[in-house]
Amino acid sequence: MGLDFTAIDFETANGFRGSPCAVGLSKVRGGVVVEEASWLMRPPENHDAFDHHNVRIHGIRPEQVAGLPRFGELFPEIGAFIGGDVLAAHNAAFDLGVIRSGLEVSGLPGPAYDYVCTVMLSRRCYSLVSNSLPYAAEEAGVPLVNHHDAAEDARACAGILIDIAARNGAASIAELYLSLGLAVSRQPAFDPRRDPLSKATVAALEALAGGNAAAPSRRPFAAGWPEEGPNPVPNAAASPDHPLFGQTVVFTGELAIPRPEAKVRSAELGARPESRVTARTTVLVVGDGFVAADLRSGRLTGKARRVLELHDRGQQIEVLSEGEFLQMVGGHVAAVPA
């Protein structure tokens, strides 16, 4: 087998994963992109409200998808394009979660997919202070021009995986993962009429039943130091496939969710939350509206500057925006740089 896979990227209408409004796909054969596809779509019924934070990120407005087929109606075409390929996505937990939740709230079954995450591969094979898609794509030699265009993001994801395979002398995904001592992840087939619903879908349906279909709004700004709260013990039973598993995470700046809640969410996924940056720290999550581009502009907290110093000294440590973190933990995505 050659280096064959399909890269995928979704954009969502709001903070619920099951609200896709756009998808981009890049099919790779023998390490070369041979075919691409993209669709705009209406999100599933009752989950199609557009949050202004999401619109600000990807620029897709409700009037652009009005009258278009909904995700559930389009999925047969999307699934046919993917076929039996391994899926690649930058933060695959999010994009595979979009498929699952989008189909669950549409009342439709979903096929099993083997998948790989280029965020995790970027961490393993590059040495970047941010593994967000623009930084990783630049390192791979496929710089993004229009980030958050689903087709361009999928193409960039494909380029990252092709580059990482080349750097490791791997002629296939199986060979790459064997060389790195990793196992390809798998999302099993499911049928919402029979199987338990995913956590994200349950939360969205509970919010809908409570008359609050919209994503929760940001907390009002409060002066002073945010409450740190205790540092929960990592969940040893969490999936090692998750990009936060095994990481030591520190939070800085004002977050949209309480910092103690952020710590609990990260610990549930196998991360070890701590309260200050040390030699153990591997991930710093930055609030205050930070995006990865701020690393170049210098709009940083003291903890973030400390991370840059440690990274320059060779410590394997990276910076995440709060939007990236919330994508990973399945929370409200108020800002979603991938």
Q: pLDDT tens, 87-125?
A: 999 999 999 999 999 999 999 999 999 999 999 999 999
Q: pLDDT digits over 169-207, tens only?
A: 999 999 999 999 999 999 999 999 999 999 899 999 998
pLDDT at 220 over 50: no
Dihedral sign of CA atoms 330, 286, 303, 226 in order: negative
Helix (H, G, I), strand (E, B) or coil at 304: helix
Give every CB contact of residue 41 below 8 A, 6+ residues apart in sequence: 20, 21, 22, 23, 65, 68, 69, 70, 71, 74
Select the more confidently predicted residue: 162 or 309: 162
pLDDT at 336 over 50: no
pLDDT at 303: 80
Burial class (CB in 10 A: 0-12, 13-18, 19+), 14: buried
- Find the Cα–Cα–Cα–Cα dihedral 128, 133, 136, 139, rounded to 10°: -120
Specify the length of the chain in residues.
338
pLDDT at 23: 98
Share of the chain above pLDDT 70, in %: 93
pLDDT at 216: 41
- Dist. CA 82–CA 288, nearest whole Å: 38
156 and 142 in contact (C-beta within 8 Å)?
Answer: yes
Hey, what are 330's tokens?
A: 């399945």
Select the more confidently predicted residue: 186 or 215: 186
Share of the chain above pLDDT 90, in %: 66
Q: pLDDT digits over 119-155, tens only?
A: 999 999 999 999 999 999 999 999 898 989 999 999 9
Q: Are strands 248-252 and 113-117 parallel, antiparallel or unpaired?
A: unpaired
Helix (H, G, I), strand (E, B) or coil at 152: helix
pLDDT at 331: 57
- The CB density around residue 219, as the number of other CB atoms within 10 Å, is 12
- pTM for the model stands at 0.86
pLDDT at 212: 58
